[in-house]
Amino acid sequence: MNILERYHAMEYGPAPEARNEADAWLAARDFGKALFIGGDWKAASGGKTFETSDPSSGKLLAKVSDASAADIDAAVAAAAKALPKWSAASGYQRAKVLYAIGRAMQRHQRLFAVLETIDNGKPIRESRDIDVPLAIRHFIHHAGWAQALDKDFPGHKGVGVVGQIIPWNFPLLMLAWKIAPALAAGCTVVLKPAEFTPLTSILFAEICERAGVPKGVVNIVQGGPEAGVAIVNHPGIQKIAFTGSSEVGKIIRKATAGSGKKLSLELGGKSAFIVFEDADLDSAVEGLVDGIWFNQGQVCCAGSRLLVQEGIADALIAKVKTRMSRLRVGSPLDKNTDIGPLVDLTQLDRVKGLVAEGARQGAVCWQPDAALPSSGYYHLPTLATGVSPANILAQEEVFGPVLATMTFRNTEEAIELANNTRYGLAASVWSENVNLALHVAPQLKAGVVWVNGTNMFDAACGFGGYRESGFGREGGREGMFEYLTAKLPLGPVIRPATVSAQPVEQSDGGAIDRTAKLFIGGKQVRPDGKYSLAIATAKGKLAGEVGLGSRKDIRDAVSAARGAKAWPEATAYNRSQVLYYLAENLSGRAGEFAARLTELTGATPKAAREEVEQSIERLFLYAGLADKFEGRVHQPPARAVTLALHEPVGVVGIVAPDSSPLLGLISLVAPALAMGNTVVAVPSERYPLLATDLYQVIEYSDVPAGAINIVTGRSAELAGVLAKHDDVDGLWVFADAETCAKAEAESIGNLKRVWSGNGRGLDWASDEAAGDAFLRRAVEVKNVWVPYGD
């Protein structure tokens, strides 16, 4: 037998990772006192525990304290006590602590890796080479942000006590993603790991003790649903950061509505893996292995939908099957293992059920001919072909090693199929033509797009989704904003609207009656219900009537906004010119608008003129920033650049305040338009004639039809309609507290981004009520990874 024959005859032998250090660590700890609160180890106040087991064998690893609501109270109290001193510490002092955590983790990284593998089931290669190094990277990276905070985020401070809830698929990495930026911002933390995977968080708490983290700054509470609910609902917590399922994310969104808590959600996904006919197929297959079978497919951004161009579909599928047949399923502690067990029997049963249902709906499910270990929660890698776009395997997040395959004919169809999902977390584009790849990437409704790669992450680059994949970002500059707050110039409490339905006294004079219509799709239209609302002057006389908008009118306005492709597709420079022209034309009628302000609000002529001039200035500001509020280029420690692109949120609903009715409306509409969003605006309920007077200005200012739509009527009612509308992508509400809370609660259908004043107005004339703080709310940040080199 020659050397080549010997090479091909070689078999993979067992290469087990030693677990003796991990076993010794397990044996030496009292997991009945696993709550880390105020720097001390405590048992659950109710004495309850839960079990965590090795998914490769089902054997018990530990019985861990199960926190109750009382324990969460204690943890929040400890975090609140530690907050003043920690937030007042210098950036350098916080940076030293973050760096010390990272260095201590480096010294124990093999123990972290083995514990992660035996608790979660992921192959040791992944936990050792990906999860643990990246977790360390986050702490060391954010040490730099801590020290640069005052310079890079002027006017911002930590949001306060943060409640964080993380999943079981990346226990240590998700912990690092959450805790590192929070500590850098000067926040204190109450973190709840998943019940299935508590071990590495306990080791991390020990690291915090050794690294000099002040008592109470980091509190880690093990527990189940009761602990999670207590964190979400606790009045002493100022921000909730959650990673998990979309279903639970919606529950949290509803539970926090009206509370004023800052919220970030990183939820599920159904990511497209798009292979064009000019792609390097062998590289694409290897990328696919990483995309869907990494961590057994238990990845929120797993490339679980393979979209392949028709001309290469057969060849690619053949290569995929060949590669699947060589994937090694077995003990996760074996360094040769590609696919370990799923995390728990319940997850295994769920995956099996979805595969069976997908087959019942017409998919052909293929698996390699391989034996599974006799114990543990293993599932063979599965390829589903003949999948229709409506098949459950194409629409639902399986969270297992299951790949659904569909074909496309051209680029447009590929984009349409990729976006045919309620999720929007990630996507992967494979083509040797970088022009094609970068043409497709911005059109994909996903927060992260990898070009000729997949599952690339770094602490310097933001990660997060669109749609039902949640909102907010983790990592990078944008991830720091999630834990910071800027002091906005709050105005008085907003009272519920009190526009009377009773007849208003007729005004003197012989003016011809004029009822203002709605403004939808570039046209003035009558309200669907054919009702109107009488508007009084400051003296109680009839100023005019406006259309009483309804659900149908909002629906028409949203449809017009969604169809206004010319505005989001325009260049930033073109949008800038239009906004300048709008300001120019408003300036030409400044006296008319000032007189209307005085008539309606009773403002002095001088104050009215000032508000009009400020409105014109605000339009000028956002016209100037339209082509200057740009994205960034990140340089992660890899052969790649990451383009952090600013994209419009989409259709933005705006409910404007009664205070400063012209300036408030323009201060909200202008930044949304500047960033390429289309708008459905509900103007001041009390003074809507200022908005209806704008119709003509809009009509002769080159604003494309549908870019701005204005529906007058009852603010609370119309805010609720916008909140429920699944074709509205963002909602900004400045109204009374009840209306704001209801808008947040009713936004859960598509998890739209909601910004509310929580029942408070703003000082719209102040400099703080304009600029970057508003523009950030008007964009989504998409991170496009572009590798380079051979």
Q: Which residues are catalytic?
A: 266, 300
Cβ-Cβ contacts under 8 Å for 406 (sequence gap 6 or more): 305, 306, 307, 308, 387, 388, 389, 394, 417
Distance CA 677, CA 561 (A): 9
Distance CA 678, CA 682 (A): 13
Residue ranges of E strands in 465-592: 470-471, 484-486, 490-493, 515-516, 518-520, 523-525, 532-536, 542-547
Compute the C-alpha angle 651/653/659, nearest 5°. Answer: 145
Compute the C-alpha angle 460/446/397, nearest 5°. Answer: 110
Q: In one letter, which amino acid is 411? A: T
Among 91, 68, 222, 82, which residue's Cα sits nearest to residue 148? 91
CB contact at 8 A, 756 and 779: no
CB atoms < 10 A from the CB of 130, how many? Answer: 19
Among 631, 634, 615, which residue's Cα sits nearest to residue 623? 615
Give 731-780 as a 3 state SS string. Answer: EEECCCHHHHHHHHHHHHHCCCEEEECCCEEECCCCHHHCCHHHHHHCEE
DSSP conformation class of 295: G
The two counts, helices (H) then strands (E), for the chain are 29, 34
Distances (CA, A) of 636 to 456, 473, 640, 643, 787: 10, 17, 7, 11, 11
Distance CA 521, CA 330 (A): 59
524 Rama sector, left if φ>0, alpha if ψ -120 to 50, beta otherwise: beta
End-to-end CA distance of the chain: 35
Helix intervals (H) in 121-198: 124-126, 132-152, 171-185
Among 468, 381, 419, which residue's Cα sits nearest to residue 726? 468
Among 484, 603, 472, which residue's Cα sits nearest to residue 538? 603
Among 756, 759, 760, 753, which residue's Cα sits nearest to residue 778? 753
Taking the mean position of all CA atoms in its chain, how far away is CA 621? 28
CB contact at 8 A, 743 and 253: no
Distance CA 659, CA 630 (A): 31
Among 91, 247, 217, 69, which residue's Cα sits nearest to residue 156? 91
Distance CA 692, CA 547 (A): 10
Q: What are phi and psi of 738, to 5 degrees?
A: -65, -40
Among 34, 33, 30, 89, which residue's Cα sits nearest to residue 204? 34
Distance CA 508, CA 515 (A): 17
Compute the C-alpha angle 705/707/711, nearest 5°. Answer: 95
Q: Are strands 239-243 and 262-266 parallel, antiparallel or unpaired?
A: parallel
